[in-house]
Amino acid sequence: MTGASASTWETVIGLEIHAQLATRSKIFSGASTAYGAPPNAQASLIDLGFPGVLPVLNGEAVRMAVCFGLAIGARIARQSVFARKNYFYPDLPKGYQISQYELPVVAQGALDIVLDDGSTKRIGITRAHLEEDAGKSLHEGLGGVTGVDLNRAGTPLIEIVSEPDMRSAKEAVAYMKKVHTLVRYLEICDGNMQEGSFRCDANVSVRPQGSAKLGTRAEIKNINSFRFVEKAILYETARQIELIESGGKVVQETRLYDPDKGETRSMRTKEEANDYRYFPDPDLLPLVLDEAFIEAVRATLPELPDEKAARFSSQYGLSAYDAGVLTASRELAGYYEEVVRAAPREPKLAANWVMGELAAALNKENLDVGSGKMPAVRLAELLTRIADQTISGKLAKEVFEAMWASGESADAIIESKGLKQITDTGAIERAIEEVMARNPGQLADYRAGKDKLFGFFVGQVMKATQGKANPAQLNELLKKKLPG
């Protein structure tokens, strides 16, 4: 996309996010939802759509959907209705998907995202409804035939439909990440995008800057990574602008993003689209939720990411950015607070270490904070030794690496490596005197007014003490001694 074109066009994006609910059993049957079983090992007669079987709604899926609705400040429908979406496909055993159509369980919520300039933007959420997932068609490794795996069929989903409120790929990614964080906070979705637990369809259109009318949109289906969402939207935006600028017209269609080629391709146009013949599912009664149930769910809501970030800022004196990073997941935030509980006087130091050394070390080994490799209390011990000046910040990094490698405590490593900081004034003075005696020339120059040599003396003393001299004390003593 050329800079000139882009500035005359505005991109409009709405997302439909599918989040698999982390229930143990399926939404309408007792079969397990665990990932990775052999094909069709987790497909009950109900999932297979056998003659005579009937769906029974999983109450846990309802609770999770309500949980989500409350977390985005939405209206929870006192009565919602399951509907059948009719179409033929081999991975859809009944020939219809049970979903919600006219009356979804969650309507009219919103989430705030933070933009690059630090301002926040509210993204409207039109609705979130419960539905069952379909199975999978397998086309490879079966000698030219197509296989059907119905393990996923009947897995509960909430489909979260946003308003067309996003204006760039970046905003779309920020929104998607926000939803991702939220569903994991609520523990209603494992958020695993590789396994398809969290995926989205992006509705993308462009219009001239300043125009109030929406352009014709294309729907990009089934994108399962943040990076792909960004790339797919950027590609699609450029495609549409180029098409319009070269005199063409965008047609309403469904497109597929091909991550290998980095492009979107047409799947079917509006004319070829299915008529899903939605109608209320007569096998299921309307879902009626009373105030008591909704309030009981509300009472179980955890502290939400935005609330937690605000609290981190005020309680620990962290910047909005740091608070945001540390609350990106419930586990990380929990870890941080555990460190702070064990080293209560150093919340900022803790933030720097959790976001810096620890994050880097975890990243390097592709571990997450819950892995147990560096228990919070261990890190807190290290921070305490920095704070009480047992070791310098610089040596602390060495200690951290040793802790990471051996799993030993900070004290044990400081002890065994003899890294304890020298805070004994006499010892530091002796070291200074030795350095002064060994470097008469530099001392004379310094005294003649070459102030820059102060650093030389700091370095020499540190070298002589293997870096263990307390820096503040050393500074003070040098200032006293060097002038003679």
Partner 1 sequence: MSELIHRNSLTQLAAGLRAKTFSSVEVVRAYLARIEASQPALNAFVSVTADQALAAAAAADRDLAAGRGGALAGVPIGHKDLFCTAGVRTTCGSRMLDNFVSPYDATVVAKLKAAGAITLGKLNMDEFAMGSSNETSYYGPVRNPWNPDFVPGGSSGGSAAAVAARLVPGATATDTGGSIRQPAALCGITGIKPTYGRVSRYGMVAFASSLDQGGVLTTSAQDAALMLREMAGFDPNDSTSVDTPVPDYVAGLDAPLAGVKVGLIKEFVDEGLDRENELRIREALEVLERMGARLREVSLPNLPLSVPAYYVVAPAECSSNLARYDGVRFGHRCKDPRDLQDLYRRSRGEGFGAEVKRRIMTGTYVLSAGYYDAYYLKAQRVRQLITADFKRAFGEVDVLVGPTSPTAAFRIGAKTADPITMYLNDIYTIGANLAGLPALSVPCGFVGGPASAEVSAGRLPVGLQIVGPHFAEARILNVAHRYQLETDWHRQSPERFA
- Can you give the binding site for partner 1, defined by CB under 8 A? 45, 48-57, 84, 86, 88, 90, 93-96, 148, 275, 277-279, 282-285
Q: Give the integer Cα–Cα distance in Å for 233 and 71.
A: 27
CB of 158 to partner 1, least distance (A): 20
Q: Which is nearer to partner 1, 88 or 260 (CB)?
A: 88
CB of 270 to partner 1, least distance (A): 12
Q: Which is nearer to partner 1, 275 or 291 (CB)?
A: 275
CB of 57 to partner 1, least distance (A): 7
Identify whether the C-beta of residue 421 lies closer than 8 Å to the C-beta of residue 428. Answer: no
Q: Give the integer Cα–Cα distance in Å for 191 and 56.
A: 26
Q: Which is nearer to partner 1, 94 or 178 (CB)?
A: 94
CB of 296 to partner 1, least distance (A): 22
The Cβ of residue 220 has, within 10 Å, a number of other Cβ atoms equal to: 27
Q: CA angle, 427 as apex, 424 and 430 as ends, to 5°?
A: 150
Q: Which is nearer to partner 1, 53 or 114 (CB)?
A: 53
Determine the residue type at 291.
E
Q: Give the integer Cα–Cα distance in Å for 461 and 455.
A: 10
CB of 280 to partner 1, least distance (A): 9
* Residue 98: both structure tokens together: 């049970």
Q: Give the integer Cα–Cα distance in Å for 464 and 452.
A: 20
* Residue 174: both structure tokens together: 């920020």
Q: Which is nearer to partner 1, 54 or 448 (CB)?
A: 54
CB of 54 to partner 1, least distance (A): 5
Q: Give the integer Cα–Cα distance in Å for 464 and 469.
A: 9
DSSP three-state, residue 421 = coil
DSSP three-state, residue 129 = strand
CB of 160 to partner 1, least distance (A): 25
CB of 150 to partner 1, least distance (A): 9
Q: Which is nearer to partner 1, 58 or 384 (CB)?
A: 58
Strands (E), 87-226: 96-100, 106-114, 120-132, 136-138, 147-149, 156-162, 198-208, 218-223
- Sheet containing strand 82-86, edge to edge, reads 96-100, 82-86, 279-280
Q: Which is nearer to partner 1, 137 or 406 (CB)?
A: 137
CB of 297 to partner 1, least distance (A): 21
Q: Give the integer Cα–Cα distance in Å for 341 and 365.
A: 26
Return the closest-CA partner of residue 28 out of 109, 102, 99: 99
Q: Which is nearer to partner 1, 287 or 478 (CB)?
A: 287
| Residue reference for tokens 């609520």 | 186
